Structure 1
């Protein structure tokens, strides 16, 4: 089955996809990722001992802001009116923080990129706020785990 790139015209020039004829549907996307660090760094974050301030709440704000600004960061993303953005963190590990973002809207194009951007920006913010004590942190395993809405319907990653 041959797939074509929707962001290229017949001459191979980059274009924004025309979504004007698409049906407006409820759209949801969830993405996850993680940031690994030294156990001591995670303990400092949990205890609120990072000098730059409240790491997790600042990362949550960064993730929300990142989702809202996705079209400013990624050239072919449509500016979207988002109806909900949630960014959550799991800190019950020895050496990592897991991040999950969920984004919703009613529109003509999906919100996968917004969810992925939220996870990335949250992880980068954690790195920025804790880099003074741990430059070895690693950001990774960022992926879409769920999307619903639109012509392609539901996608759920099998783990």
Structure 2
């Protein structure tokens, strides 16, 4: 078991961005979920028991982006200009990418990261019955590589 050292800090606060100028903001985040080949085929063929996996994950990601400031305590609520959620099949995985645009005083990378995370968790939830082994474990299923691919501030 991993042991953690306790860090006492009661200074949690939202940073004041009032004096910052409003500018166009963009962030792109992506991540991967590794699945069994049979599960990937079922997603491709539209035969997953719970329904359309990627359509559901796309809606979940969009909702998560819109709720990021409620989920992550010190994130600012943002006026979003747009959210794009895309998926592609990689080698043994599905890659989710979320692009978030805004016009405001603070970046949108946390919103993009939240969207990707929830998209991948939704995929897992939609296919978990197909991913479990005979002991109820997930020997193949894993989420990896969630990161900010791109972040821009200023002219698009």
TM-score using structure 2 length: 0.86
1:47 maps onto 2:51 in alignment = no
In the alignment, the residues of structure 2 paired with residue 64 and residue 48 of structure 1 have an alpha-carbon distance, to the nearest angstrom, of: 21
CA RMSD of aligned residues (A): 1.8
Per-residue CA shift, 1:39-91, capped at 9, x if unaligned?
11100111011110000000000111110000111010011110100010002
Q: Is the 8 A contact 1:25 1:149 kept in 2?
A: yes
Residue equivalent to 1:25: 23
Match of 2:57 among 56, 59, 65: 59
Structure 2 stretches of 5 or more lacking a match? Answer: 1-8, 133-137
Q: For this pair of structures, how many residues does the alignment match?
A: 141
Structure 1 stretches of 5 or more lacking a match? Answer: 1-10, 154-159
Match of 1:123 among 117, 120, 123: 120
Residue equivalent to 1:143: 147
Q: Is the 8 A contact 1:42 1:94 kept in 2?
A: no
In the alignment, the residues of structure 1 paired with residue 92 and residue 78 of structure 2 have an alpha-carbon distance, to the nearest angstrom, of: 35
Query: Following TM superposition, where does structure 1 have runs of at least 4 consecutive aligned residues deviating by more than 4 angstroms?
Result: none
| Deviation of 1:95 (Å) | 1.5
Residue equivalent to 2:109: 112
